[in-house]
Amino acid sequence: RKEVEQDPGPFNVPEGATVAFNCTYSNSASQSFFWYRQDCRKEPKLLMSVYSSGNEDGRFTAQLNRASQYISLLIRDSKLSDSATYLCVVRRYNTDKLIFGTGTRLQVFP
């Protein structure tokens, strides 16, 4: 079993839709959590960190559920420009080790 697992998708949604992705992690000693966005053949870019209390950045909301060991990303009012692969990233407690999920692909259509 992979340490960080994501549904690869693709998630095909119309503009304006709300879409949510989950990411599960197996190591309970995981400390820090991030969502990265990666466009085709480009470098990953930090979308947002995920805090224990949940956090929001515009149309994007990230949540952490430590009891069930998953994080989620909610995108409201999807735009065509949101089409990308979303990578879940987990850092183990008190280490420099970052574990990347293989990503969830989102395709927003007109």
Q: CA angle, corner 26, sides to 20 and 30, nearest 5?
A: 90
Positions in 42-61 near another protein (CB under 8 A): 42-46, 49
* 100 is a site residue for another protein (CB under 8 A): yes
Backbone dihedral region for residue 60 (phi beyond 0: left; psi -120 to 50: alpha; all else: beta): beta
Distance CA 5, CA 87 (A): 10
Task: CB nearer to another protein: give 12 or 31.
Answer: 31
Task: CB nearer to another protein: give 42 or 59.
Answer: 42
Residues in the site for another protein, rule: CB under 8 A?
31-32, 34, 41-46, 49, 87, 89, 91, 94-98, 100-103
